[in-house]
């Protein structure tokens, strides 16, 4: 079981909404909508994805990283390395 188990349904709901937003952008392009309006939707999807990512990361720290640190040893170091690399990818994306 992973850190996000308790909020799994809310993450799935958010992702389904994001799926709908992304499909909406595809339709805007297909029906030649104005560039600026499409860009506004892209920024909105970016923000929604960021919120999902930050939620997953918080839960990962609270559960997976915390359990590993409590266990101690190499598994703890590895989990923190992984979390730091994921944070860097998020900050840079």
Contacts with a copy of itself, residue ranges (CB under 8 A): 1-5, 8, 11-12, 15-16, 18-19, 22-23, 25-26, 29-30, 32-36, 38-40, 42-47, 49-50, 52-54, 56-62, 64-66, 69-70, 72, 76-77, 80, 82-84, 86-93
Q: 35-60 and 8-30 are packed helices; what angle lies between their axes, rounded to 10 degrees?
A: 160
Helix (H, G, I), strand (E, B) or coil at 4: coil
How big is the chain by its Cα radius of gyration, in Å? Answer: 17
């Amino acid at each position: 079981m992973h850190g996000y188990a308790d909020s799994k349904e809310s993450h799935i709901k958010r992702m389904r909404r994001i799926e709908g937003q992304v499909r909406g952008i595809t339709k805007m392009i297909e029906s030649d909508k104005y560039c600026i309006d499409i860009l506004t939707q892209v920024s909105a999807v970016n923000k929604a994805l960021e919120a999902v990512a930050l939620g997953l990361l918080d839960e990962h720290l609270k559960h997976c990283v915390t359990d590993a640190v409590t266990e101690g040893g190499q598994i703890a170091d590895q989990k923190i390395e992984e979390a730091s690399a994921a944070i860097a990818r998020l900050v840079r994306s």
